[in-house]
Chain A
C-alpha cells in the first residue's frame, strides 16, 4: 500500500479547511437598529424684546422730496400731526393752468392726511417699520399729474408688475376677469359711478395676489380685506381681515390676500381714480373664482 505523502496530507487538510469555511460563512448580521424617538423641543416663541432695533426701512421712512413751502413756517419740534390746514392742491388732481390759491376754508372736504405719529411697537415688542406716511406736503407750484417716482419706487413697481405706472391719471377700466356678480360694486347709489373705478383697483390686485389652489380648502376661502389708500399709493389704514375665522386655511388665505395689498404699495396704487383714495375699501379675495377650472 502506497503511503500518503506529506503534500497530499497538506492538500487534504487545506481542502477540509476550505469546506469548513464554506459552512461557517461570514454571515453578516447587522447590529439591531434602535430608532429612538428624538426629543426635539419647540421651546417657545422667542421673546422679541431681545431683538435689536430694526434697520431703517429706507423706502418706508423716505420723506417726499422737499418742495418750497408757500409760506415760511417755523418748524415744529415735535412730530405732532399736522394741523388740518387746507391743501392747496391734491396729487393727481385735475391740472389747472394756474395754481389754486390757498383759502382759509377748503371748498370741499379734502382728504385728511394720516397722522405721522411713530408706529407703536407690535405685540412682539418689535419696532414696527411703517410705510411712509401718506403725507402730502403743501405745494406751491401747480399740481403735477402724478408724484415723481423715486428709484426705489421704480424697482418696486417692476416687481409688482403693475399694469400701469403712467404719470397721468389712469382711466378706469373694467376687469377682463370673470366676476361673481358682486365685483367692483360701490356701496350705494351714490357710488354707482365708482363701479368701474373699483375695477381699476381690483384688476391691479389680480396681478399681486399669489395663491395656491392645490392646498385643500384654499379654493374655498374668500377673505374680506379692508384698507384705505392714500393718493401717493400708500396703505394708510389696514389691511385688516374683516370676516375673520378661526381656521388655519382661512388664516393662510387671508395672509396671502393682505400680502397682495401690502405688496402693491406704492406704485400699484398710484394713478387710480380719485374716488378710491382716502376712503375705506373692502375687497373680497375670492379664491373659489380664482381657482375655478383648476
Chain B
C-alpha cells in the first residue's frame, strides 16, 4: 500500500469522525423548537377608527362616518373601538403610513384611517385603509363612492369590510330592517309598515294599501327588493307584496279566509303563508309566477309560521296538533311531518338561519318568553334571552345575530338584537314602538 493512500484514508477517517461529532451540535443549533399556546385573552379586539375629511358644505363628514363605523363594530360584540379622544396621532393622511408607535401606545391592535371628500362629479368618495399595528402591515385598502346622501351606506360598507377581514365572517351592517311601527294605546294600536337601517337610522313609513290598515309580519324577499306583509282591516286580512324599488304593491290572490304569516322561499319564487278558515289554520304555498296555491297541511289544528330552509327543501312551522304549540318540519311540498321540539312550555315562530345550520324560535314557559336557537333537527336548543314578552326572531344575513321584539308590561314594544351565543345583546334604537322585525339580505 502506498504511503499516500494510507494518509488519504487516515484523513478521510478523521474527517468522518469530525463530521459525526459535529452533526449533533449542528442539529441542535438549527433544530426547531415547538410549543403550544393554549390560553389567551378572550376579549373584543381594540381598534381605532380615524376617518377625516369634509363634505361639500364643509361639514365634518369623516367624523360622522367614523362614528357609524365604530357603532357598527362595537355592536357586533367582537370589537372594542377606542375613544377618538385618546388618539395621539390625529389628522392622519390616508396616503401616508401611520405612526404605529402612537397607536401602540393607546393599545390599538388595528387602525382604520381614511379620508372623505366630494369629487368633481359631486359624489362622496371615501378612501380608507386597515392596518395591523403590531405587524405594521396594511390589511385593506379600498375606495368607495356614493351620492352624498348615502354616506351612511359607505360607513356600513367600511364596517363590513373591516368585520370580514378581522373575523373571517360575512358582514351584516349594510342591511335594512322592515318592521311594524306602533303608536297609540295598547287597545287601539296604529301599526304602520316601516323600514330603517339595521342600526336604527333613517326610519320611514312605507305607505300601505287601504286606510286604517294594521300591518303585521312583514318579511323580506331574498333579493331584499320586495316585502310581503299581512294587512289587517276591519273586514279582511290579506297578504300584500310591496316592491321597494317601485313602491308598487299588490294583493296575493283572492284567498278565502284570513291569510297571514307570509314567508318567501329562498329563491323568491314561492310564498308560504297560513290561512285561517273554519276554525282551522293551515299552511299554503303559492307559486308567485303562476299564482297556483298548494295546501301543505290539513286538519283542525293551528299550523302557522312557515319558514323555508336555506335550500328550500324543508319548511319549519308551528303547530298545536300535539296539544301545545311545538315546532315541526315538513317537506316543502308537504308531507313527512315530524316534530322537533319536546321540551316543556310551548315553541313557536321557527326561522331557519340563512345558512340553514340553525333554527331560531320563541319559547314560552313559566310565564316568560325567550328567544332561542337549535339545530335543524331540534337538538342543542339554547335560550339566548328571556323577558316578560318577546318573540318574532329574524336572522341577520350572516347568521350570527338575531333581532326580535320585546314588550314591557307597560305595553311598549321595542327591537333588540342578540348574538347567537347570547353574550352580546343590545337595543335597536327607534323612537317609538316597534315590533315584528325582518332583516334584509345585504344590500347591493
A83 contacts which chain B residues (CB < 8 A)?
none
> Is A37 a contact of B245 with CB atoms below 8 Å?
yes
Let me know if B400 and A216 touch, CB within 8 A.
Answer: yes
Question: In the complex, A279 Cα to B400 Cα: how many Å?
Answer: 42
Residue A141 lies at the interface, judged by CB distance under 8 Å to chain B = no
Q: Judge if A92 is at the interface, Cβ distance under 8 Å.
A: no
Residues of A within 8 A of B78 (CB): 212, 214-215
Tell me whether A283 and B247 are in contact (CB under 8 A): no
Q: Which of B34, B45, B424 has the most CB of A within 10 A?
A: B34
Is A214 within 8 A of B77, CB to CB?
yes
Among residues of A, the one whose C-beta sits closest to the C-beta of B124 is A40
Contact between chains at B134 and A57 (CB < 8 Å): no
Chain A residues within an 8 Å CB radius of B95? 50-52
Quote the shortest CB–CB distance from A247 to chain B (angstroms): 7
- Name the CB-closest residue of B to A59: B101
Interface residue A132 (Cβ < 8 Å from any Cβ of B): no
Q: Using Cβ atoms and an 8 Å threshold, which residues of chain A touch B40?
A: 206, 209-211, 260, 285, 287, 290
B134, A286: Cβ atoms under 8 Å? Answer: no
Of B32, B129, B134, the residue contacting A279 (CB under 8 A) is B32
Q: Give the CA-CA distance A34 to B147 in the complex, in Å.
A: 16
The answer to whether A180 and B36 have CB atoms under 8 Å apart is yes
**Considering only CB atoms, which chain A residue lies closest to B128 in the complex?**
A46
User: Does any Cβ of A come within 8 Å of B154's Cβ?
Assistant: yes
- B43 to A, closest residue via Cβ: A210
Which residues of B50-100 are within 8 A (CB) of A? Answer: 77-78, 93-100
Give the docked Cα–Cα distance between A207 and B211 (Å). Answer: 62
Contact of B443 among A37, A57, A159 (CB under 8 A): A37
Distance to closest chain B CB from A156 (angstroms): 7
Q: Is B230 in contact with chain A by the CB < 8 A criterion?
A: no
Q: How far is the CB of B97 from chain A (nearest CB, A)?
A: 3
B36 engages A218 (CB within 8 Å): no
The reply to whether B101 and A255 contact each other, CB–CB distance below 8 Å, is no
Among B110-157, those with CB < 8 Å from A are 127, 129, 132, 134-147, 150, 153-154, 157
Given A178-B38, A186-B34, A202-B37, CB of A45 within 8 Å of CB of B142: yes
Q: Which residue of A lies closest to B126 (CB)?
A: A40
Determine the residue in chain B with the shortest Cβ distance to A201: B35
Within 8 Å of chain B (Cβ to Cβ): is A251? yes
B3 CB-CB contact with A under 8 Å: no
A46 → B minimal CB distance (Å): 4
* A58 pairs with B101, CB closer than 8 A: yes
B46 and chain A: residue at smallest CB distance: A210
Is there a chain B Cβ closer than 8 Å to A294's Cβ?
yes
B33 cross-chain contacts in A, Cβ below 8 A: 186-187, 191, 194, 198, 275-276, 279-282
Q: Which of A14-22, A67-75, A122-130 contacts B (4 or more CB under 8 A)?
A: A122-130
Which of B39, B142, B423 lies at the interface centre, i.e. has the most chain A CB atoms within 10 A of its CB? B39
A40–B31 touching, CB < 8 Å: no
Residues 354 to 397 of chain B near chain A (Cβ within 8 Å): none
The reply on B429 being an interface residue by CB < 8 A is no
B residues in contact with A208, CB < 8 Å? 41
Residue of A nearest to B195 (CB): A35
Main secondary structure of the interface of B (DSSP, over half): mixed
Judge whether B245 and A156 touch: CB under 8 Å: no
The residues of A that contact B343 with a CB separation of less than 8 Å are none
Tell me if A46 and B146 are in contact (CB < 8 A). Answer: no
User: Contacting B204 at CB < 8 Å: which of A33, A187, A282?
Assistant: A33
Which of B141, B145, B424 contacts A48 (CB under 8 A)? B141
Give the docked Cα–Cα distance between A285 and B153 (Å). Answer: 36
Q: Which of B38, B176, B207 contacts A183 (CB 8 A)?
A: B38
When the two chains form their complex, are residues A40 and B43 in contact, meaning their CB atoms are under 8 A apart? no
Q: Mark B171-198, 1 if CB is under 8 A from A, else 0.
A: 0001010000000000000000001000
A213 at the interface (CB under 8 A from B): yes
Most buried by B among A38, A152, A184: A38
Q: How many angstroms from the CA of A128 to the CA of B41 in the assembled complex?
A: 29
Q: B291 at interface (Cβ–Cβ under 8 A)?
A: no
A150 within 8 A of B: no
**Cβ-defined contact, B41 with A211, below 8 A:** yes
Inside 8 A of A198's CB, which chain B residues have their CB? Answer: 33-35
Q: Which residues of A contact B99 (CB under 8 A)?
A: 55, 57
Query: Is B27 a contact of A286 with CB atoms below 8 Å?
Result: no
- CA–CA, A129 to B101, complex, Å? 11
**Cα–Cα distance between A114 and B44 once the two chains are bound (Å):** 36
Stretch of B162-170, B301-309, B311-319, B406-414 contacting A (4+ beta carbons < 8 Å): B162-170
Is there an interface contact between B101 and A179, defined as CB atoms closer than 8 Å? no
Query: Contact between A248 and B93 (Cβ–Cβ < 8 Å)?
Result: no
The residues in A between 191 and 231 inclusive whose CB is less than 8 angstroms from any CB of B are 191, 194, 198-199, 201-202, 205-218, 226
Q: Is B4 an interface residue (CB 8 A)?
A: no
Contact, CB under 8 Å: B207 / A280: no
0/1 string, B267-306, CB within 8 A of A gives 1: 0000000000000000000000000000000000000000
Inter-chain contacts of B174 with A (CB < 8 A): 40
Bound Cα distance from A283 to B32, whole angstroms: 10
Q: Kindly provide the distance from the CB of B224 to the nearest chain A CB, expressed in whole angstroms.
A: 9
| A252 part of interface (Cβ distance < 8 Å) | yes
The answer to whether B154 and A184 have CB atoms under 8 Å apart is no
Residues of chain B within 8 A of A171, CB atoms compared: none
Closest to A108 in B: B25
Least CB distance, B125 to chain A, in whole angstroms: 9
Q: List 30 A-B contacts (CB under 8 A).
A: A34-B244, A38-B153, A39-B145, A41-B146, A44-B142, A46-B127, A46-B129, A55-B98, A55-B99, A159-B104, A179-B36, A180-B36, A183-B38, A184-B35, A184-B36, A191-B33, A198-B34, A202-B35, A212-B167, A239-B135, A248-B169, A252-B166, A252-B168, A255-B166, A258-B135, A259-B109, A260-B37, A279-B32, A280-B30, A286-B38
Give chain B's interface residues, CB within 8 Å of chain A. Answer: 24-25, 27-46, 77-78, 93-101, 104-105, 107, 109, 127, 129, 132, 134-147, 150, 153-154, 157, 161, 164-169, 174, 176, 195, 204-207, 211, 225, 244-247, 400, 419, 421, 423-424, 443-444
Closest A-B pairs by Cβ, 6 of them: A54-B97, A248-B168, A249-B168, A209-B40, A32-B247, A289-B38
If A249-B167, A256-B45 are given as contacts, then 7 extra A-B residue pairs at C-beta distance below 8 Å, sorted by A number, are A34-B244, A38-B443, A41-B146, A51-B97, A190-B27, A198-B34, A284-B36
